[in-house]
Every structure is written in structure tokens, then in C-alpha cells.
Amino acid sequence: MDVEPVPSEPIAPEALIGVASSPPLSIAALLAGLEDLSRAHSDRVLRLIGTLPAEALENAGAADTAQDLPPAPSAALDSVVLDSTLAAAASFAATGGQPPRDLPPPREPFELLIFRGFSSLTTHPTAFDPDRAALPEGAVIDGAELLAAPLDPQGGVPLAGPLPAKAFLQEGSWL
């Protein structure tokens, strides 16, 4: 079944009033809100991208994650890893081989898909417990993109975004 993009206009800036100024949400509350809205839109997939603290992945609870699964490849995320690796190498060389003291903790890029009320990481193992948030609280969500469902393995059909993830907490942003 071929899916064609829904003809739509971009989301008006006034529709996003209050998105940036609203109080910060926890990652769990943000994901719960997005999952709730996604249940009513079975023809849409929301893709979130961002970074995770490396220590959160190490402490993610090996008992309820598929630790033996390798991360899925993603060209967009690979370039982020390469850029951060090159930056770290340049910083190391600039200090004469001494590690800089003020380096931020290491982070890993992630991609998370939300479909029909469920979240699943495509780049890291996802907990088997559906009541547990798919992202740890230290996650930073850089953007969200609304795609037509079902997803094509060659690439999704973008419908809206990239926008801040909070923008998709409004019903109207799901088109």
C-alpha cells in the first residue's frame, strides 16, 4: 500500500505559543503524553532524536533489556558520533595528550519511534516493561518529526517537523 503525504500547511507559529514557555516536563511525562496522543493516530509515527548519557545506558537494568542485541545502524546518527569523536580527538591533541578536565560526560545519539501508544528505541535496547519510560531522565530530545505510517525501511514520508517534541503534545500538530 502506497502512502502519500497528506497535503497540509506548515504548523502556524501561533499554534506553538506556550510550547517553549511551558514548564519543563520530565522525560517520562513527555513520552506518556506523546504515547497517549499517538493512540488516536494509527496512521502516524513520531520519531524523536537526541542524545542519552552513556552511564544511563550502562545502568539501564540488564535484567529487562535485550543487552545482546546490537544497535541498529543509522547514517544520520553515525555522523553525530563521528563529529563528537573528532571533536574529542582534537581536544585531546590540543592539550598535549592530557585529557581535558572539563569534558562533559559522554553521550550517545538515539532514535525513538512512537506508534499506536508504544515507544521503541531503534538505536538501543528497549525495556520489555511497557510501564517504564523508554528514555532515562538524562536524555536530551533534540527534535521530533511526524511520519506517515506504515514506515518504509528506505525512509519515512515526513508530514511535519522537525519541531520541538513538546509541539506534538498538541492534538493539532498530528495533522
Q: Where are the domains of the chain?
A: 25-174
Instruction: Give 67-71's long-range contacts (Cβ < 8 A, gap of 24+).
Output: 67/125, 69/125, 71/123, 71/124
For residue 163, what are the CA distances in angstroms to 44, 54, 126, 160, 166?
A: 15, 25, 24, 8, 8
Residue 121 CA to residue 114 CA, distance in Å, equals 9
Per residue in 138-166, is it b (16+ CB within 10 Å) or e — as a string?
A: ebebeebbbbbbeeeeeebbebbbebebb
pTM, entire model: 0.65
How would you label 30-63 residue by residue, b for 16+ Cβ within 10 Å and e otherwise? bbbbbbebbeebeebbbbbbbbbbeebbeebeee
Q: Is-contact 136 125, C-beta < 8 A?
A: no
- How do the pLDDT tens digits run along the chain, 175 residues long? 444 444 444 444 444 444 455 667 889 999 999 999 999 999 999 999 999 988 765 555 443 444 444 444 455 555 555 565 566 666 666 666 666 667 777 889 999 999 999 888 888 887 777 778 888 888 899 999 999 998 887 878 999 989 999 999 999 999 8
List pLDDT tens digits, range 118-138: 888 888 887 777 778 888 888
